């Protein structure tokens, strides 16, 4: 598409080519940020997990680009989303629980995502293991 813009010779061609380029970028941003609903496999290794982190961040960026395009072009587009890919977060959480300690690289990236995007990501509730139902637990005094 960029080549079409670059090769435009007249003002009319350039305007048309830039409009087509903008439309292409809008639909590309839509496709890359649309919320996935089917679960994705847990990454097999750190490289795969970090690629998934990059995919998550790209989705957020593309959703922001899409929203800006909608606003700039005064579109009455009712389907708006934030780019959060909860299925990626779920897979990454499963990966770090199974493969990393508290200082793991992917865990650090995931923690940074939680800081960068507070409140938009559903964090799982973790169960607290107790011995309250066991016979041999010491009495609390």
Domain boundaries, the chain: 2-116
Contacts of 120 (CB under 8 A, 6+ apart): 82, 84
Q: Which two tokens stand for residue 141?
A: 């005094």
pLDDT tens digits for 103-122? 999 999 998 988 888 776 66
If one compares 88 and 129, the residue with the highest pLDDT of the two is: 88
pLDDT reported for residue 46: 96
pLDDT, mean over the chain: 85
| CA separation for the pair 49, 106 (Å, rounded) | 7
Instruction: Check residue 59 and report its DSSP letter.
Output: H
From residue 39, how far is each of 13, 43, 90, 114 by CA, in Å?
44, 12, 8, 20
- pTM (two decimals): 0.76
| CA separation for the pair 48, 66 (Å, rounded) | 27
Number of CB atoms found within 10 A of residue 30's CB = 18
């Amino acid at each position: 598409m960029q080549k079409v813009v670059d090769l435009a010779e007249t003002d009319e061609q350039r305007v048309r080519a830039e409009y087509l380029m903008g439309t292409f970028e809008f639909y590309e941003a839509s496709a890359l940020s649309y919320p996935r609903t089917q679960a994705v496999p847990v990454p097999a290794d750190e490289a795969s997990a970090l690629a998934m982190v990059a995919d998550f961040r790209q989705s957020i960026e593309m959703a922001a680009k899409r929203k800006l395009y909608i606003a700039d072009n005064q579109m009455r587009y009712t389907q708006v989303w934030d780019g959060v890919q909860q299925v990626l977060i779920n897979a990454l959480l499963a990966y770090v629980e199974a493969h990393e300690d508290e200082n793991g690289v992917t865990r650090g990236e995931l923690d940074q995502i939680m800081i960068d995007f507070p409140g938009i990501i559903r964090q799982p509730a973790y169960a607290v293991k107790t011995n309250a139902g066991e016979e041999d637990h010491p009495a609390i005094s």
